[in-house]
């Protein structure tokens, strides 16, 4: 059974699925009627490696150079390019992107926060920033550890918009 016949249709969508038209084809959601609010999202990703590699990473002594500086810029650039990578994402006026790293014994946690003042959220931009920063770290360490692993890519928190504030461990908050 296809998506069109499986779900009852609403005027603009198939079965209430906002990215599908009533005929089942993809569409970019119309956000023109939404209120402009300040919106922010934070996402994370983790790169696991060996303690020896993490020591080199922290000291900026990897064969390819300062991996964290490169990964920070890559994550910031990625947040700005999200609508070019994810087909149905809206281009947004991003006002701030931060990419931070927490080095552990055998891992580095990457945390990306993206902020905008607009009509739709920035969760995808934060996820893209964290993911690309992790990919960049991997690229920079693969010469010394081909077995490094990227994991734990997820949204940690979001704020703003009709659905209100949300944190991974705290659930829904009030309307923002």
Instruction: Return the active site residues.
Output: 139
Secondary structure of 27-54 in the HEC alphabet?
A: CCCCCCCCCCEEEEEEEEEEEECCHHHH
Structure tokens given for 16: 């209430």
Instruction: Name the 3-class secondary structure at 143.
Output: coil
Order of all β-strands in the sheet with 149-159 = 94-103, 107-118, 37-48, 149-159, 166-167, 171-172
């Amino acid at each position: 059974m296809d998506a069109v016949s499986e779900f009852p249709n609403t005027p603009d969508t198939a079965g209430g699925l906002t990215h599908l038209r009533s005929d089942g084809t993809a569409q970019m959601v119309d956000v023109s009627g939404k209120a402009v609010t300040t919106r922010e999202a934070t996402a994370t990703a983790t790169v696991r490696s060996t303690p020896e590699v993490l020591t080199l990473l922290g000291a900026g002594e990897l064969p390819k150079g300062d991996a964290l500086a490169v990964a920070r810029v890559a994550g910031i650039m990625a947040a700005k390019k999200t609508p070019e990578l994810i087909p149905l994402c809206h281009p947004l006026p991003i006002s701030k992107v931060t990419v931070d790293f927490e080095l552990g014994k055998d891992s580095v946690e990457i945390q990306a926060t993206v902020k905008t003042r607009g009509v739709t959220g920035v969760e995808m931009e934060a996820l893209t920033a964290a993911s690309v920063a992790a990919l960049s770290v991997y690229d920079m360490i693969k010469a010394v550890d081909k077995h490094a692993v990227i994991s734990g890519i997820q949204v940690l928190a979001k704020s703003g918009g009709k659905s209100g504030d949300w944190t991974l461990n705290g659930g829904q908050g009030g309307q923002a």
